[in-house]
Amino acid sequence: MATKITPISGFPELLPRERFAEQHVLDVVRRTFELHGYAGIETRAVEPVERLVGKGGDADKEIYAVSRLAGGEDARDASLGLHFDLTVPFARYVLENAGKLDFPFRRYQIQKSWRGERPQEGRFREFTQADIDVVDIGSLPAHFEAEMPIVLAEIFEQLPVGDFRVRCNNRKIPQGFYLGIGLTDIVTTLRIVDKLDKVGAAGVRAMLVEAGATAQQAEQCLALAEISTADGGFVDQVRALGVDHPLLQEGLQTLAEVMSAASAATRPGRVVADLSVARGLDYYTGTVYETQLVGFESWGSVAGGGRYDALASDGATTYPGVGISVGITRLVQLLIARRGLTTTRSTPSAVLVAVTDDAGRPRSAAVATALRARGIPCEVAPKADRFGKQIRYADRRGIPYVWFPGTGDDDGDQVKDIRSGAQVPAQAQTWTCPDEDLRPALRTD
């Protein structure tokens, strides 16, 4: 009896065209990170469960524990869990390698993470993230907080995402504001306000009152969250609410500096101050970021992050940091599902080298070797079929060129652009593939 294969939800697998699209996104992200001086690292997939639970700050998050099937109880590693993000393992990495790193340390990391949450559109159990962070010893200058939205904007400007917004806030603004109006359970209030995009103003108002806020305090929280500007105008709007607290003033100053730097380095309107952004993780202490695609706000953030001051500490020394994370899987799946993102071909090959007959296969292989030596991706036809069939084979895969090896010294090679039908003499040692055809290109519906 044949075994039926059942897909496992939340663990996406991509077809070749989709994988090429994802690789293009990854290349853009990695290249941009490196242009800004970030060095790549990789950390282990598992961390002690105690550390993950202690640093995650989200009681709803399910952590996958790790154990071996064989070997009995003694072989179980139930104290280990798969990391749910890259920031917590990076903080541990910094502590373990502090004596070998140069500070401020700038790193990027592109790896998979795992979360045991309910799979749905835009949410997965296994997914790829791409992070950058800057950490320093003891203190971290605020100008690093201004760098993050600039990097995010540069990445999304290079991708076929349409309009987008990098939304920025500073955790000290809502914290100081809440303290200024008499609220003391700051963590709960932040988590509730962070649900504004999901449940709306009425839902947040009800949840705040249920958590102990008065109706007036709930309205004040919503008034703060409604403030959004593409420049430093948010400062006057916050002060007009009539609330004062030293932490609030500190946050306003830092966010104003972030917006000033971003305005000078990005297109108008790409980076905005949005005081509804809270970020649910407890370890954020300063500027926080979320990136949304305009028209697809219901998907939530496709990139985000923030500043943290106490995540990496050995008790004697603290390593404050700031970072961002691009949800590669989330972003690519959105573009595939909603924008029809795909690529121009399902294979890296730009050239199919035809085979005239079985005896001529070595000649075709020699052509392919010469083309590859010059950086031109190609493959040799699987069968010595009629040339019409070999052309159709290339066409089905999106391969733009078919190469016909000559049969002798007087019968030179020919290369055919099967899109236009143009066919010209060519030599494998000199023919140049147009740059736009050398690699699969992205396209959207």
Q: Binding-site residues for L-histidine, please? A: 85-87, 115, 129, 133, 279, 283-284
Is 317 within 8 Å of 98 (Cβ atoms)? Answer: yes
Which residues carry a binding-site annotation? 85-87, 115, 129, 133, 279, 283-284
Residue 104: cis peptide before it, omega within 30 degrees of 0: yes
What is the maximal distance between C-alpha atoms in the chain?
Answer: 92
What is the rounded CA–CA span in Å between residue 371 and residue 369?
5
What is the rounded CA–CA span in Å between residue 254 and residue 257?
5
* Burial letters 34-55, b for 16+ CB under 10 A, else e: eeeebeebebebbbebebbeeb
Residues 6+ apart with CB under 8 A from 286: 142, 145, 170, 171, 172, 251, 254, 306, 307, 308, 309, 322
Do β-strands 105-114 and 39-40 pair in parallel, antiparallel, or remain unpaired? parallel
- Helices H / strands E in the chain, number of each: 14, 18
What is the rounded CA–CA span in Å between residue 226 and residue 78?
44
Distances (CA, A) of 121 to 12, 86, 141, 333, 334: 11, 22, 38, 9, 8
Nearest C-alpha neighbor of 387 from the set 371, 374, 403? 403
What is the rounded CA–CA span in Å between residue 286 and residue 251?
7
Is 145 within 8 Å of 307 (Cβ atoms)? Answer: yes
Sign of CA dihedral 308, 309, 313, 319: positive
